[in-house]
Amino acid sequence: MNQLLLKAVDKDKMLGRIISKYDGSKAHFRPHQIERSLALVLKDLNPSQKDLIYQHIYQELANTAGELSSQQISQTIISVLEEAGFHQAAQNYYRFGLDKRQKRQKQENVQVKLDELLAGNKRIINENANKDSRVFNTGRDLTAGVSAKAIGLAMMPKAVANAHLKGDIHYHDLDYQPYSPMTNCCLIDFKEMLANGFHIGNAEVESPKSVNTAAAQIAQIVANVASSQYGGCSADRIDEVLAPYAKLNFEKHLATAQEWIAEADRQEAYAYQKTEKDIYDAMQSLEYEINTLYSSNGQTPFTTLGFGLGQDWFSREIQKAILKIRIQGLGREKRTAIFPKLVFTLKDGTNLKPTDPNYDIKQLALECASKRMYPDVLMYDKIVDITGSFKAPMGCRSFLQAWQDEAGRDVSQGRMNLGVVTLNLPRIALEAHGDQAIFWQILAERIEIARQALVYRVERTKEAKPENAPILYQHGAFGQRLASDDQVDELFKNKRATISLGYIGLYEVATSFYGPEWENNTEAKDFTLNILKALKEQTDHWGQQYGYHFSLYATPSESLTDRFCQLDLAKFGEVADITDKGYYTNSFHYDVRKNPSPFEKLTFEAPYPQYSSGGFIHYCEYPNLRHNPKALEAVWDFAYDKVGYLGTNTPIDHCYQCGFDGEFDPTAHGFKCPECGNNDPESCDVVKRTCGYLGNPQIRPMVEGRQKEINARVKHMRTTTNFDNEGDANG
């Protein structure tokens, strides 16, 4: 606001005033918001006339005693316009407010959303790249989700619902929660369930007597858990969990050999050979079962297998089988499996160096990643440093924090997340108009709304009864077995469960204040880190206040990268390098349009997860690595003591018409073979990293913003030669 507007108004006094909004939330008075809302209705006036109108409005508001309300401000604006003789402008401003209210009501209207769904609105049907909207059960889930969202918005605090609809925050998975008091993602306690048996449907399932049965039971558990929650589920250290059951196979085969074979060495050789085949068959069956399952919400269960630390023969064979089966591919055409997501752990002394006992399995993991993109890798020591203890992520990137039970034992298995609410950080930067003081002021207001949303999520989830999800609460998936009259909060409270505050678009925030090439600007980077420090301080404080583990989460933003950007494009217009791209950048990631080396990118991003310990992942973009896994190993080794979790993005597309292997060309709506132009999903296999997990966009398309973000990605290297040299120098 320029000095003319302040002639009769105390600026500091005005900026310090608090507004009470119609939804009950509070905000500081900001003159530029009034000017932006009046810009269209006063477009025919010259600047001096506009200034005079603004001055009169601010003078009237300054003379109003007590707390201002949104309604008072609107009435004052209309009165000033009428008194000045701008009757048409007053009417237009009234209609402007009415249009906003009607638009908000339309967003909440079930019938409108159902009509959009039936009309094939791509932002609805492609919201989740793991859902095939063409099939009946997914279509039914999407239809139910429209109703559940409307009901959920009516259930939650009005300020939270309004902030979600406007795009100030995003209340994740609104199609499931709060309509149902469901949990988000978890680390299933497979060890306990397999050891002690469990109940599903009409079957009481006993502890398995072989690795084959154990793997089949894991698939049954995954299907049931995925239908009882809405997020991903993980099997942590699955090689070590299944090893005792593989040993049962060995003992059975050894007993048979001792009956028929005289020589002791041949007896053991026979038993090992048969057990190796059993392990391979068991893990292959698990791979196929997970990829052929549909959960009740119409998607392939988002399953993650964490492995790599077991050193006994059985654990090693399980690790090798997982990797060999993924390299082999699915079906006659050997397509890349999307699930389960594979996460291989690197640990110094176990598999990191050539002298480590499992170094050979690391080489197999490198081959697998170069051909199938998975496994992603966890750096054992860094995960402990960032999260307090070692564990695999829940789903794609959500991490539990260290927690001990009453006996002082570290516990990760059987714990869970209660949901995510994400802040639209780029919007706050755009609203601040280059003033960092205002940025921090708005951020504080949005954090308060997010707190209300997260606390509401916790309270709603606590309303579940054990019988609502027996597999979770009564039969071991959540680590303890509750009675039907127990409170589910027994498994959540005392920081056993996490609840996550997410964020998106740090790149765009810094761009708003420092320009699009800010990554090498120390002041700009410190600004982004200070934002995360402030958010982390808040989540830590809430954890102490409420007794749940509030964590800061670098949101994967699968569809949110599109939604927030589209809402802000409508509100602010095309802003260079922010809204004009058609997407917002995930979490803390380096601008995907730039091409630093992998080493530069990882060094840049390394500090951020220390504050985002509730969820994070790094990735690097490479050219075809199938014949150069040593280059990938150089990056893994370089990253070991710098980042905790690293994904590999490399071209693995395949055309079954012409035989092309490599990277398909991006188009506005998908991808096509660069050799023959084929884009038929039945005759090509196109795999891209959606965010924390892989997707097949030809079969299950992504929202437009995510497609644009993928198309904008460039390789994080300048030439293969430079990559190799830098890897040798830094690795």
Dist CA 672 CA 679 (whole Å): 4
* Residue-level length of the chain: 731
Mean pLDDT score, 511-532: 98
Judged by DSSP in three states, 11 sits in helix
State residue 111's pLDDT score. 57
Q: Which of 130, 297, 370, 398 is catalytic?
A: 398
Question: pLDDT grade, residue 8 (50/70/90)?
Answer: very low
pLDDT tens digit sequence for 606-625:
999 999 999 999 999 999 99
pLDDT tens digit sequence for 485-512:
999 999 999 999 999 999 999 999 999 9
pLDDT tens digit sequence for 400-412:
999 999 999 999 9
Better-predicted residue by pLDDT, 44 or 142? 44
- Rg of the chain, C-alpha, whole Å: 28
pLDDT tens digit sequence for 44-75:
778 887 788 888 888 888 877 777 888 888 88
Dihedral sign from CA coordinates of 558, 562, 563, 564: positive
State residue 404's pLDDT score. 95
Q: Distance from CA of residue 387 to its chain's centroid?
A: 17
Assess whether pLDDT exceeds 90 at residue 34: no
State residue 396's pLDDT score. 87
Q: Which of 1, 233, 396, 691 is catalytic?
A: 396
N-to-C CA span, the chain = 53
- Buried residues in 145-182 as b, exposed as e (16+ CB within 10 A): bbebbbebbeebbebbbbbbbbbbbbbbbbbbbbbbbb
Dist CA 205 CA 621 (whole Å): 44
State residue 724's pLDDT score. 45
- Catalytic annotation present for 553: yes
Assess whether pLDDT exceeds 50 at residue 10: no
Question: pLDDT grade, residue 91 (50/70/90)?
Answer: confident
What is the full DSSP assignment across 442-487? HHHHHHHHHHHHHHHHHHHHTT--GGGSHHHHTSSTTSS---TTS-
> 535 and 552 in contact (C-beta within 8 Å)?
yes
Assess whether pLDDT exceeds 60 at residue 3: no
> 387 and 225 in contact (C-beta within 8 Å)?
no
Assess whether pLDDT exceeds 70 at residue 176: yes
pLDDT tens digit sequence for 539-573:
999 999 999 999 999 998 788 999 999 999 999 99
Q: Which of 185, 379, 684, 691 is catalytic?
A: 185
Q: Which of 130, 162, 184, 557 is catalytic?
A: 184
Whole-number percent of the chain with pLDDT over 70: 89
> 373 and 649 in contact (C-beta within 8 Å)?
yes
Element containing residue 646 per DSSP (H, E): strand 645-649
Q: Right CATH number for 159-181+415-615+627-635 from 3.20.70.20, 1.10.40.50, 3.30.1330.10, 3.60.21.10? A: 3.20.70.20
Range(s) of the chain covered by CATH 3.20.70.20: 159-181+415-615+627-635, 191-400
Q: Pick the range with the lowest mean pLDDT from 254-268, 296-310, 463-477, 578-592.
A: 296-310
State residue 728's pLDDT score. 35
DSSP 333: T
- Catalytic annotation present for 692: yes
Element containing residue 68 per DSSP (H, E): strand 68-69
Assess whether pLDDT exceeds 50 at residue 729: no
Mean pLDDT score, 674-678: 95
Q: Which of 240, 431, 558, 663 is catalytic?
A: 558
Q: Which of 692, 695, 705, 727 is catalytic?
A: 692
> 171 and 453 in contact (C-beta within 8 Å)?
yes
State residue 63's pLDDT score. 78
- Catalytic annotation present for 558: yes
Question: pLDDT grade, residue 114 (50/70/90)?
Answer: low
- Catalytic annotation present for 645: no
Whole-number percent of the chain with pLDDT over 90: 68
The token pair at 649 is 């993005």
Strands 203-205 vs 645-649: parallel, antiparallel or unpaired:
unpaired
State residue 44's pLDDT score. 76
> 54 and 69 in contact (C-beta within 8 Å)?
no
Q: Pick the range with the lowest mean pLDDT from 105-109, 391-395, 459-463, 598-602.
A: 105-109
Question: pLDDT grade, residue 120 (50/70/90)?
Answer: low
pLDDT tens digit sequence for 425-468:
999 999 999 999 999 999 999 999 999 999 999 999 999 999 99
- Catalytic annotation present for 184: yes
- Catalytic annotation present for 649: no
CB atoms within 10 A of CB 353: 13
- Catalytic annotation present for 551: no
On average, the pLDDT of the chain sits at 89
Single-letter residue type at 180 = S
Q: How far is CA 232 from CA 341, 396, 509, 678, in A?
A: 10, 7, 29, 33
CATH of domain 191-400: 3.20.70.20
